[in-house]
Amino acid sequence: MEVVRVENLCKVYGTGEMKVKAVDNINLTINQGEFVAIVGPSGSGKSTLLHLLGGVDRPSSGKVIVDGVDIYSLSEEELAIFRRRKVGFIFQFYNLVPVLDVEENILLPLLLDNKKLDRKYIDELISILGLNERKDHLPNELSGGQQQRVSIGRALAYSPSIVLADEPTGNLDSQNSKEIIDLLKLSVQKYNQTLVLITHDLDIASQADRIITIEDGSIVKDEKIS
Amino acid sequence: MIKNYKQITYRYLKVQKKRTILTIIGIILSVALITAIGTMAISMRDAAIKDVIKRMGDYHAIFTDVPSDKIDKITKNVEVEKSGITKPDGYAPLRETTEEERESLPIPYKYLRVRGYDKETLDILPYKIKEGRLPISSDEIVLEKLVLEYFPKKPKVGDKIVLSLGKRIIKEPDGKETVDPQSVDGGFIYSDIEERFEKEKEKEYTVVGIADSDNVWEDGYMYDTIVGLDKKDLKDNSYDIYVRFSSINKARNKAEKIAKNIGLTEGNIQYNDDLLELSAQSASKSLNNALVKILIFIITLVIVATVAVIYNSFNISILERISQFGLLRSVGSTPKQIRNMVFKEATILGVIGIPVGLFCGVLAMRIVLYIISLIKFDFVADFEIVISPVVLVISSILGLITVYLSAYGPARKAGKISPLDAVRNTGGFKKETFKKVKSSKLIRKLFGMEGELAYKNLRRNRKRFTITVFSMVISMVLFISFSSFSKYMFRIGAVSDDEMGNFLIYSPGNLDLDSMYKELKNIEDVKRVYKASTSYADALVKNDVISPKLKELNEGLYDEKIQGSTVVYNSNIITFGNDNMDALKPYLKNGTVDAEKLNSENGVLVVATTPTYDEKNDKSVIIEGFKFKIGDKILVSDHIDDTDNKDNLKEVKVMGILERGLLSNEYKYNLNDGLSIISTEEICEKLMDDGLDTQVYIEMERDGNNKPVRKYLSGLKEKDLKFNYLDYSEQAEEDRKVNIVMNIFLYGFVAVIALISCVNIINTISTNLILRTRELAMIKAVGMAQKSVRKMVALESIYYGLMATIYGGIIGTGLSYLLYRIVMRIRGFDWMIPWNSIFISSIGAIVVALISAYIPLKRINNGNIIDKIKMEE
């Protein structure tokens, strides 16, 4: 089943001589439960593409359709709600709210929606992430790996349509990286999530179902791994 | 565990404790100031209302000429809370007027104006009895103390007196006769009207009380006299009804309605205008009041200042959290949710700050009043702090408005933060748009590399530079305008610099001045007794002694010439008594003050200094008006007439030239562009045919004991009621107290404003640095020494201070001029650029800026460089 469809997506910075095409006419579909790795050199437009998929940036032209909805036809308000419910972001630098503890950080998207908690799901999620002992800690009391696990929890808290991870292991040592990727894979399989992940690590990329290679804003290779 | 996203707010507030506290302090100070000002204003109004009630009585309106059958319609009206009935009982002659008295007023008798009052009216009106009690029945009477003299035997409380009561009938120019209606406010003006008295009856009264006199000046022809009123049989046609409504609101409408209902006209209503006005029943009038304008000006300033402080505080805390808000945005909060969070923060701060502010404001007023009461200031005796719910509500609302107004901009800004700011993982300051700043060789030479870096830091971000300078400017402007305000208030309240001595006898009554003079001179600690006399005269002088400047300012005034001399009208002949000629010595520019020499040569002294008015430039000036030489002749006349009568003119010789005279302004300078001629008693008497009007000034030794003189003078007053004097030392004491009170208020105010200003500067500067923690650490990492960092930051602070001085100085000066224009209307004085305040506030701003940079800098310097670089927040 198709979750994301990208049509003729472009993102241009600057004008005239200074014009840079960060994303240049990309077409793409991603199916439910797929684990997609995006690779490419620095500045190739990977992150911009990911941002456009998650509705935090706005394209210069083209469409992104998630669950049948053209997200850039939404208002700012609706787009925020879209992000809250349909997208889970995982960042390289974790980006946790420093004043909230682990559990609260994970629950943040739900809190923003004033939604009643599915306690069972959340407890399960926290224990899968191995954060049971750390529930009441503030982010600055955690190691990098632990913080990244919290942000995975936050991304999955709403059972979004798509999880977007921008070099989630870029800031971690190899041991922690492995753990994080294992966790991501586990949760994707367990909850049948769709995961799009940017990485420089070919080891990680090779664990994906599909590897998309981007250069100069265009897809140069799109291969399925079986 | 938080239950709702908005609860994140609490966490932020807790984490940012320092900023939260600073913001709350800002709110508290703002609300407290507004509350204090409002409470003060309300309390003053309350004191003024009490004063009016004390003077005029506690009524709102009087219905006059009410027939007896209509009285109930007024007194039983639902709107009427209190009412009292009075009735004119006619006039009673005291004695026939003398010929002399009739010359000024053609009235055949001095009268008692007898009026009956019921008990309720006497409650409403402020009559106080010195001895005995107020009358109850219609045959009881209270007499004024002055009146007692007119009876053959001074009546005492308990005595019976018989009065012949009747009507005063006035014959108008057309021959028609009118009966004086004896209305509540006194009735007719009598000059030039023929009048006769028609006796109607005789009535015996029992004197039940003696009242103090209102007629201090003692040339009254009418004396109000209170008798009782029997309410059992009210059958006359002209009663006057005092009314107090249960609510003063729309008192005029209510009164008019009642009058209309019972067939009276608007002319039948008199209002207690002062009371109604103070109770804001005629708002337009009071708005014109300069004091009200000042109040509005001050409150506006306070609100602007506190909005600036609180806005700054919010703004900074938003700036610091840009990545935080971006993060919330990326996980799906809507702009509205973010805005709500900021408003929630504002609300929490307001909920804490406003009640504390209200409390502090009232408390501050109480403390100030307590301090004032310690100096036993008369004004305070009646003065009570009125805690008005209206003031509290208005202050709270103004506080809330201030808070929300301050939060509005930052909240919008926070809502607009793009989620990308979080995703890109930037702290606040990477977001700023850098501007390339050209290096300045001059700055580099003067302040070295640190100076250049400081300069670039300042210039690279216009917005932040503007915010910082703006907050300092606000602080300086407040300080400058308030300190000039306090200066102006001093000028207004300042005691005039008249050297009036300690006592002034302005009316000797029937007592003998010469013996009084001798007795006074012998009282202990009396330094001088001046028998000061003055009389109008016209002087003829040589044209060239009048200074050209004086002629220029008073064109046409010195054009009239008689026998080749120029007439100087409005001149004065003055003597301070022969014993006091030597007191003039310090002011003698030339010549002699010796009484004998003056007497032997018909000599006089002249005053050179003339205060006059420069119409062109619309200001008062003091110039040298006359340039006499010793030996010049002056012709003096008490009245120059057209007949050119030479006998009228008396020649005197200028034997001394004085800078100025003595005592009050009346004697000190040349008044009304005339010439003051001072001489001995003998010469002055010779010059003036009509005799001189004499006042006695008593000057005490410094720190001398005033009590014997005071006792002596009050003794004289007991002897003769027409004897009147002023006690300046008492007044001077009171003035001194007024000054202290003003000081406490104004400096208290300036202190609070200065405090607000400091909070503002600390907030801005320290945040500026905290936001740059990483950058500063980086600079240190690449090898800048601690000392150099300090120097760089210090230079930045100083530069901010200097920029703020320029803008703040200009705006502050402008505002102080505006205030001056408002205050001017109360009392004129010259405006000056407030250099002092500008200087102080500038130094203050720089010092506070340095201190507020020093504290966070120390924290930054103390930590590990790498930690700071890594630090995300």
Each residue of B527-536: pLDDT tens digit?
778 877 777 7
Q: Average pLDDT in the B257-275 region?
A: 83
pLDDT of residue B590: 77
What does pLDDT average to over chain B? 76
pLDDT of residue B405: 82
Q: Are residues B414 and B335 in the same domain?
A: yes
Q: Are residues B555 and B589 in the same domain?
A: yes
- Helical segments of A55-173, H only: 76-86, 102-112, 119-128, 144-156
Q: Which of residues 57-86 of A touch B (CB under 8 A)?
A: 57, 76-77, 80-85
Q: Which of A49, A31, A33 is nearest to A185 (CA)?
A: A33
pLDDT of residue B247: 83
Q: Which of residues 266-325 of B touch A (CB under 8 A)?
A: 323-324
pLDDT of residue B562: 72
Q: Are residues B595 and B552 in the same domain?
A: yes
Q: How many CB atoms lie within 10 A of CB B697?
A: 26
pLDDT of residue A6: 92
Instruction: Looking at the complex, report in whole angstroms how far the Cα of residue B318 sits from the nearest Cα belonging to chain A.
Output: 14
Q: Has residue B495 got a pLDDT over 50?
A: no
pLDDT of residue B734: 66
* Assigned domain for B714 exists: no
pLDDT of residue A8: 92
Q: Which sign, positive or negative, has the C-alpha torsion B544, B545, B548, B554?
A: negative
Q: Are residues B180 and B236 in the same domain?
A: yes
- Pairs of residues, one from chain A and one from chain B, whose beta carbons lie less than 8 Å apart: 88
pLDDT of residue B694: 75
- Domain containing A111 equals 2-224
* Assigned domain for B518 exists: no
B426 has a chain A CB within 8 A of its CB: no
* Assigned domain for B765 exists: yes
Q: Has residue B142 got a pLDDT over 60?
A: yes
Q: Who has greater pLDDT, A211 or B312?
A: A211
* Assigned domain for B519 exists: no
> Do the chains contact at B15 and A89, CB–CB below 8 Å?
no
Q: Are residues B87 and B201 in the same domain?
A: yes
How would residue B497 be classed by pLDDT, with cut points 50, 70 and 90?
very low
In tens, the pLDDT along B146-182 reads 788 788 888 888 888 888 888 888 877 777 777 777 7
B765: left (phi over 0), alpha (psi -120 to 50) or beta: alpha
Angle between helices B335-374 and B389-416 (to 10 degrees): 150
Query: DSSP state, B337?
Result: H
Query: DSSP state, B429?
Result: G
Q: Which CATH number do you get for residue A179?
A: 3.40.50.300
* Cβ–Cβ under 8 Å, residues B102 and B251: no
Q: Are residues B116 and B227 in the same domain?
A: yes
> Do the chains contact at B331 and A81, CB–CB below 8 Å?
no
Angle at A203 between CA A200 and CA A206, to 5 degrees: 100
Q: Are residues B410 and B444 in the same domain?
A: no
Q: Has residue B356 got a pLDDT over 90?
A: yes
How would residue B775 be classed by pLDDT, with cut points 50, 70 and 90?
confident
* Phi, psi of B276, rounded to the nearest 5 degrees: -65, -40
> Do the chains contact at B332 and A91, CB–CB below 8 Å?
no
B872 contacts in chain A (CB < 8 Å):
93
* Assigned domain for B520 exists: no
Beta strand pairing status for A2-13 and A20-31? antiparallel
Q: How many CB atoms lie within 10 A of CB B548?
A: 9
pLDDT of residue B428: 40
How would residue A36 be classed by pLDDT, with cut points 50, 70 and 90?
very high
pLDDT of residue B491: 61
Instruction: Looking at the complex, report in whole angstroms how far the Cα of residue B436 sits from the nearest Cα belonging to chain A.
Output: 19
Can you tell me the distance from the alpha carbon of A87 to that of A69, in angstroms, rounded to the nearest whole number? 13
> Do the chains contact at A103 and B12, CB–CB below 8 Å?
no
* Cβ–Cβ under 8 Å, residues B608 and B591: no
Q: Has residue B235 got a pLDDT over 70?
A: yes
Chain A residue closest to B329 (CA)? A80
How would residue B217 be classed by pLDDT, with cut points 50, 70 and 90?
very low
Q: Average pLDDT in the A164-178 region?
A: 84
How would residue B432 be classed by pLDDT, with cut points 50, 70 and 90?
very low
* Assigned domain for B512 exists: no
* Cβ–Cβ under 8 Å, residues A177 and A169: yes
Chain B residue closest to A96 (CA)? B327
Q: Has residue B125 got a pLDDT over 90?
A: no
Q: Has residue B287 got a pLDDT over 60?
A: no
Can you tell me the distance from the alpha carbon of A26 to that of B189, in angstroms, rounded to the nearest whole number? 103
Q: Has residue B870 got a pLDDT over 60?
A: no
- Domain containing B339 equals 1-55+282-420
pLDDT of residue B299: 75
Chain B residue closest to A97 (CA)? B324
Q: Are residues B782 and B688 in the same domain?
A: no
Can you tell me the distance from the alpha carbon of B832 to that of A144, in angstroms, rounded to the nearest whole number? 65
Percentage of the residues of chain B whose pLDDT score is greater than 70: 80
> Do the chains contact at A95 and B11, CB–CB below 8 Å?
no
Q: Select from B226, B250, B271 the last residue of a domain.
A: B271
Total structural domains within chain B: 4
Q: Are residues B549 and B675 in the same domain?
A: yes
A83 contacts in chain B (CB < 8 Å):
329-332, 419
Q: Average pLDDT in the B261-267 region?
A: 82
The token pair at B825 is 């209307």
B430 contacts in chain A (CB < 8 Å):
none
Instruction: Looking at the complex, report in whole angstroms how far the Cα of residue B7 sits from the nearest Cα belonging to chain A.
Output: 10
> Do the chains contact at A108 and B324, CB–CB below 8 Å?
no
Q: Are residues B758 and B691 in the same domain?
A: no
Q: Are residues B129 and B41 in the same domain?
A: no
Q: Are residues B346 and B407 in the same domain?
A: yes
Total structural domains within chain A: 1
pLDDT of residue B375: 67
In tens, the pLDDT along B52-86 reads 787 778 888 888 888 888 888 888 888 888 888 88
In tens, the pLDDT along B710-753 reads 777 777 777 666 677 777 766 666 666 666 666 677 677 777 77
pLDDT of residue A213: 92
In tens, the pLDDT along B691-704 reads 566 777 877 776 67
Q: Select from B654, B680, B700 the last residue of a domain.
A: B700
Q: Name B197's bridge partners.
A: B168
Instruction: Looking at the complex, report in whole angstroms how far the Cα of residue A32 sits from the nearest Cα belonging to chain B.
Output: 21
Helix, strand, coil percentages (3-state) for chain B, rounded to 5, are: 55, 20, 25
pLDDT of residue B737: 66
pLDDT of residue A211: 92
Best residue in B331, B344, B412, B872 to probe A by mutation, most A CBs within 10 Å? B331
Instruction: Looking at the complex, report in whole angstroms how far the Cα of residue B321 sits from the nearest Cα belonging to chain A.
Output: 10
Is B563 exposed, middle or buried, given 0-12, 13-18 or 19+ CB atoms closer than 10 A? Answer: exposed
> Do the chains contact at B8 and A81, CB–CB below 8 Å?
no
Q: Select from B683, B700, B717 the last residue of a domain.
A: B700
Best residue in B20, B423, B426 to probe A by mutation, most A CBs within 10 Å? B423
ipTM given for this complex? 0.71
Can you tell me the distance from the alpha carbon of B202 to that of B225, in angstroms, rounded to the nearest whole number? 16
How would residue B429 be classed by pLDDT, with cut points 50, 70 and 90?
very low
What does pLDDT average to over chain A? 86
A11 has a chain B CB within 8 A of its CB: no
